[in-house]
Amino acid sequence: MMRQGDAMNSMRLLSLCLALAWCSSSTLAKELQTTFTTAYSCGSKPSEGTCLSEPFEPGRVVILLKKDSSGVCISKTEEKYKYEGVDRYYEGTKLGSLDGCFGPFNFAIVGADPSFVRLTNEKISSSVLDKRRKQARELLKRREASFPATPETEQFRVSDIPPKVIVAGHNVLLSYTLKMDSTFGPSVLFLNDRHFVSESKEWCATGHTFFYVKDKLHLGYFEAGCGGGYSAAIIKDLSSGTPKEVYVRGRTT
């Protein structure tokens, strides 16, 4: 259930959107499908332009998720453009004015009612956090023990640095780093009383973010492939109690 503060923030966002003529009732009615994508700065300075990594038709409402989970910004798709990737040119989308709202951003939602989207990172009691940390460490040790004993698997050893913790209700994610890399690492997700540990292919991930779309909890993050030759953006729908991939971009192996 949406808390009173969240509801008020959502109403303010919608009021701003309508006041700026970004999402009139007729525009919202035309948004037939909600689409996930990634957002990034595409100007010479972070404040000079924001783009989406995939092509969209002009005039669609876009909700941008701030990288630090502090809030969202609203814009509209403006024009498609081509940008250079590792192996070829790709087509993306430039956005219009953000009306003084600044990033950096990680993910974006195209076609959603702004009043239905919110970022979240709630508080958790120290006793529950300590319990989850102990459980997560044990689960990661078991996963590490399942790796073959080769020099290559040394890259998968988890560091002793405390994990980043994000919380949404009774759901907790603990994101760890590796001894060889202070940015990427595995994670343990607790969805109520169930737990999910990163598979070996997901052992190098970062930037985990909880957010809601129409009261459905989602998790977004980025994989580095652990030497697998790719960098991918992932979004999972957690609302059923089991993570389900609903967006993947960049995974090639």
Beta strand 171-175 pairing with 105-110: unpaired
What pLDDT score does 45 carry? 62
pLDDT tens digits for 12-36?
444 444 344 444 333 443 444 789 9
Q: Tell me the C-alpha distance between 27 and 134, whole Å.
A: 49
Residue 227: per-residue pLDDT: 61
**Domain architecture of the chain: domains with CATH:** 4-115 (2.40.30), 126-249 (no CATH)
Task: Find the mean pLDDT for residues 187-192.
Answer: 95
On the question of pLDDT at 203 being above 70, the answer is yes
Confidence at residue 16, expressed as pLDDT on a 0 to 100 scale: 42
Using CB atoms within 10 A of its CB, is residue 9 exposed (0-12), middle (13-18) or buried (19+)? middle
Choice between 146 and 4, residue whose per-residue pLDDT is larger: 146
- Is the pLDDT reported for residue 7 higher than 80? no
> Does the structure show a pLDDT above 90 at 242?
yes
What percent of the chain is predicted at pLDDT more than 90?
51
| CA–CA distance, 211 with 18 (Å, rounded to integer) | 22
Judge whether residue 169 has pLDDT over 50.
yes
Taking alpha carbons only, the member of 200, 198, 161 closest to residue 183 is 161
**Do 213 and 109 touch, CB atoms closer than 8 A?**
yes
Cα–Cα distance between 238 and 243 in angstroms, integer?
5
Tell the burial category of 25 from Cβ atoms under 10 Å away from its Cβ (0-12, 13-18, 19+).
exposed
Q: Which residue has the tokens 């009612």?
A: 113
Tell me how far apart the terminal alpha carbons of the chain are, to the nearest angstrom: 38
Q: Averaged over 34-49, what is the pLDDT?
A: 80
